[in-house]
């Protein structure tokens, strides 16, 4: 298999496994969509880490495979490509990308589907599709400007240049930079922490932020208000408020609970 889902301690790890560079061919794309659906459905998965190997997260699409496709074939395939990545973005649980080595082209677009990105100090990022006479086709022209702003996104897309981890951090492309040997442990530790949180509230927070960015402020506030009030019907809200009153702030552990 080119992608694996490994589950432990409430964390589902989606691991890319297509040596040497984790090129995102059609088989990888289809497997990602399948496993994103599984991670969404499984109750024992409360947070997700997506990672590659120690050497590389994903260096982009399989160019040899793409070169063999004509216009008609790509019209058909481009929808499947976007749907695979969108399936990852729509996992209704916290998703953390652990970024090592290169995250280029489709690799960066996949990282953009995560909620948070932790990068190795020696990681490199970029959207080099312009150097192939193309533009990003798996969400880069849409998710990247929403994350770092249109001007910075256009700089990366127009030039195809690579960005080092420190610059990626300064522009908001990644959220943390750590030594390469610590990336996976850091991502997993954060995922374990989030897995112990209130699952419905985390889902509500993710949906409110993501959907709110796609609409006007009044509609977004209505969405927030609806989720906020709805959470008062959950056991987690009862437990969280009781813990705050009886034990003090920050003491609640929502999962596992005895």
For the chain, what is the total number of helices (H) and then of strands (E)? Answer: 11, 9
Across the strands, what pairs with 14? 5, 50
Q: Which phi and psi (to 5°) does residue 43 adopt?
A: -70, -25
Tell me if 11 sits within 8 A of 192, measured CB to CB. Answer: yes
Give the separation between CA 171 and CA 135, rounded to whole angstroms.
21
Sort strands 3-8 and 11-16 into parallel, antiparallel or unpaired. antiparallel
Q: How far apart are CA 111 and CA 88, in angstroms?
A: 10
Can you read off the two tokens belonging to residue 110? 């996949």
3-state secondary structure of 99: strand
Q: Quick check: is 129 catalytic?
A: yes
**What's the N-to-C CA distance of the chain in angstroms?**
37
Residue 79 token pair: 């929808």
Cα 239 to Cα 173, 180, 181, 191, 256: the distances in Å are 36, 38, 37, 21, 13
Could you say which of 34, 38, 65, 109 is catalytic? Answer: 109
Sheet containing 3-8: give its strands across: 3-8, 11-16, 47-51, 95-99, 116-120, 176-178
- Our answer to whether residue 109 is catalytic in this structure is yes
Among 54, 76, 121, 129, the active-site one is 129
What is the Cα–Cα distance from 169 to 207, expressed in whole angstroms? 24
* Residues involved in catalysis: 109, 129
């Amino acid at each position: 298999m080119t992608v694996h889902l490994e589950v432990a301690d409430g964390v589902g790890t989606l691991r890319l496994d297509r040596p040497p560079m984790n090129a995102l061919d059609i088989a990888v794309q289809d497997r990602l969509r399948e496993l994103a659906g599984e991670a969404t459905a499984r109750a024992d998965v409360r947070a997700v880490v997506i990672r590659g190997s120690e050497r590389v997260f994903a260096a982009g699409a399989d160019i040899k495979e793409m070169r063999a496709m004509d216009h008609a074939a790509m019209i058909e395939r481009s929808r499947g490509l976007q749907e695979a990545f969108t399936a990852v973005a729509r996992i209704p649980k916290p998703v953390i990308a652990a970024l090592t080595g290169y995250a280029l082209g489709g690799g960066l677009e996949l990282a953009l589907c995560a909620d948070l990105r932790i990068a190795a100090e020696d990681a490199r990022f970029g959207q080099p599709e312009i150097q192939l006479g193309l533009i990003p086709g798996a969400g880069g022209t849409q998710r990247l400007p929403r994350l770092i702003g249109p001007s910075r996104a256009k700089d990366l897309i127009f030039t195809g240049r690579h960005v080092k981890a420190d610059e990626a951090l300064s522009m908001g492309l990644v959220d943390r930079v750590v030594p390469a040997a610590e990336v996976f442990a850091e991502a997993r530790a954060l995922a374990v922490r989030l897995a112990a949180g209130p699952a419905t509230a985390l889902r509500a927070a993710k949906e409110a932020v993501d959907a709110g960015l796609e609409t006007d402020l009044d509609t977004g506030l209505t969405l927030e208000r609806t989720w906020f009030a709805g959470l008062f019907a959950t056991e987690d809200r009862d437990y969280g408020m009781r813990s705050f009153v009886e034990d003090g702030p920050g003491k609640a552990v929502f999962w596992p609970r005895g």
